[in-house]
């Protein structure tokens, strides 16, 4: 089966919501799962994030991005530290 055609960031988000983490041009999906393994974001979080983006709910998007970054750090903190990041 061929990979879905991504025409823009909303297509990327919709595919991520379906479980397809696809890197688009210079942008990762919000949880970075298109480029790193071990990230498991529950569907309800993805759904909430996509809805917030569509409704321009900036504070919800910001809060959820922080959640995704904390989860990334929990899974890949050793990578961050070995590359000089002290988040």
Residue 8 pLDDT > 90, yes or no? no
Mean pLDDT over residues 15-19, rounded?
95
- Tell whether 2 is covered by a domain: no
- Tell whether 49 is covered by a domain: yes
Cα gap 79→51, rounded to integer Å: 31
In the structure, what pLDDT confidence band is assigned to residue 38 with cuts at 50, 70 and 90? confident
- Tell whether 13 is covered by a domain: yes
Coil/strand/helix, residue 77: helix
Report pTM: 0.80
- Tell whether 3 is covered by a domain: no
- Tell whether 52 is covered by a domain: yes
- Tell whether 1 is covered by a domain: no
Owning domain of residue 58: 9-82
- Tell whether 26 is covered by a domain: yes
- Tell whether 76 is covered by a domain: yes
Mean pLDDT over residues 48-58, rounded?
96
Structural domains counted in the chain: 1
Cβ density class 34-66: b for 16+ within 10 Å, e for less: beeeebebeeeebebbbebbeeeeeeebeebee
> Helix H segments across the chain?
9-17, 43-54, 58-82
């Amino acid at each position: 089966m061929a990979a879905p055609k991504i025409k823009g960031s909303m297509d990327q988000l919709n595919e991520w919501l379906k479980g397809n983490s696809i890197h688009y041009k210079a942008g990762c999906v919000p949880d970075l799962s298109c480029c790193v393994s071990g990230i498991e974001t529950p569907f309800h979080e993805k759904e909430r994030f996509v809805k917030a983006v569509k409704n321009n709910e900036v504070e919800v998007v910001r809060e959820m991005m922080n959640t995704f970054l904390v989860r990334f750090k929990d899974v890949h903190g050793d990578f961050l530290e070995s590359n000089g990041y002290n988040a």
